[in-house]
Amino acid sequence: MDVEKKDRAVCLMFALMLAGGLLLCIFMPKDKYSDSERRMLTPMPGLSAGNVWSGRFMSGFEDYAADAFPFRDAFRRIKAVTAFKLFSRMDNNGIYEADGFLSSVEYPMNEADLERAAERFRHICDKYLTEKNKVYLSVIPDKNCFMAAASGHLAMDYDAFEGRMKELADFAEYIPISDLLDRDDYYRTDTHWRQEKIGDVAGRLAQAMGTHLSQNYEVHRLDHDFYGVYHGQSALMLPAEELKYLTDESIRNCQVYDWQNKREIPVYDFEKGEGRDPYEMFLSGSLSLLTMENPCAQTDKELVIFRDSFGSCIGPLLLEGYLQITLVDIRYIHPDYLGKFIDFDNCDVLFLYSTLVLNHSDTLK
């Protein structure tokens, strides 16, 4: 190819890319929601003189143009692959992959957040509990605990984390569980642990709280593929996973009441299991206050679990040992309102939180 032809080819290529891009941007149908990022995409801003004069239209349009760009996920994939393969970046937007497991960098340990979390827990104890209540604390290590250091990524000192929480929450008896976990107990493409792998954790918690679980669970598999939150966020092509769930007599007969929406809900919400975020099938995802009644209980023990999303998964496994378990998520309900719904007399209380929430405890009310 001579220089003149090359110059024409360069001009043609550029013109085609810009014109093609423009036409696709204008005419291609726009998504309102990004399944991969699990968020609403920025809509086209309203055009008005006021919006233009203030600059709001322009800034809104910049966000819209990037969000509504055709084949957005394919471009995000190109970016991720370029970052990892061409530039050998250790992470892309804070997400990294090691041996087929995805995780997000969680570093450093935020001392102030740990203090805040402990202060919120203490407030609950001071407000509602007496010496008759037994109070427990357990910290769920996030996946990085088992993979970050080994793959050369930034890793918090999880022993120090646990130690600090124990120290700060000296009003609670600490139940260690990290020795029972490893990387395979978590989904490859998701933040969370796998229910079928945490029977031993449930057993440890129950034993420490003075009850016993027979753990005769039946394992079931959700019918369709599971792609965790990091799958879309990383924009990498990783294989689908199986989402499994456990049942036993207590779980099958359990009645769950959702105080937030004032309705009965199932332990495993299969509608949610077919939705955008199948992990929400465990106790219907992000709900502020739930009560699980166990009609098959051989005991009158009651437990209140202050928990995050990890608790939705392990909560049902503890049912056998209790007549009633109440699950509270103080990211969605202020603790000061709990007295209206929960009778704390003679209840055991467990603060069960993942390091991810404790390390960013500004979300706790």
* Residues from 32 through 61 that contact another protein (CB under 8 A): 37-39, 42, 52-53, 55, 58, 61
What contacts 24+ positions apart, CB below 8 Å, involve 219-224?
219/244, 219/245, 219/246, 220/244, 220/245, 220/246, 220/247, 222/270, 222/273, 222/278, 222/281, 224/274, 224/278
| Minimum distance, C-beta of residue 80 to another protein, in the bound complex (Å) | 8
| Minimum distance, C-beta of residue 152 to another protein, in the bound complex (Å) | 7
Scanning residues 179 to 238, which ones bind another protein (CB under 8 A)? 191-192, 229, 232-233, 235
Scanning residues 155 to 184, which ones bind another protein (CB under 8 A)? none
Q: At 84, which amino acid appears? A: F
**Is position 248 an interface residue for another protein (rule: CB under 8 A)?**
no
**Is position 21 an interface residue for another protein (rule: CB under 8 A)?**
yes
**Closer by beta carbon to another protein, 81 or else 323:** 81
| Minimum distance, C-beta of residue 316 to another protein, in the bound complex (Å) | 17
**Is position 152 an interface residue for another protein (rule: CB under 8 A)?**
yes
**Is position 301 an interface residue for another protein (rule: CB under 8 A)?**
no
- Residue indicated by tokens 């689908």: 240
Within the chain, how many helices (H) and strands (E) appear?
13, 14
Residue selected from 31, 43, 46, 89 as contacting another protein according to rule CB under 8 A:
89
Residues comprising the chain, all counted? 365
**Is position 265 an interface residue for another protein (rule: CB under 8 A)?**
no
Kindly list the distances between the CA atom of residue 51 and the CA atoms of 41, 46, 58, 121, in Å, as whole numbers in the listed order. Answer: 20, 7, 8, 45
| Minimum distance, C-beta of residue 8 to another protein, in the bound complex (Å) | 5
Contact letters for another protein, residues 327-346 (x by CB under 8 A):
----x---------------
Cα separation, 266 vs 341, whole angstroms: 20
Scanning residues 101 to 130, which ones bind another protein (CB under 8 A)? 107-108
Look at residue 358 and give its three-state secondary structure.
helix
* CA angle at 34 for the pair 309 and 314, rounded to the nearest 5°: 15
β 173-174/218-221 pair status: unpaired
**Is position 277 an interface residue for another protein (rule: CB under 8 A)?**
yes
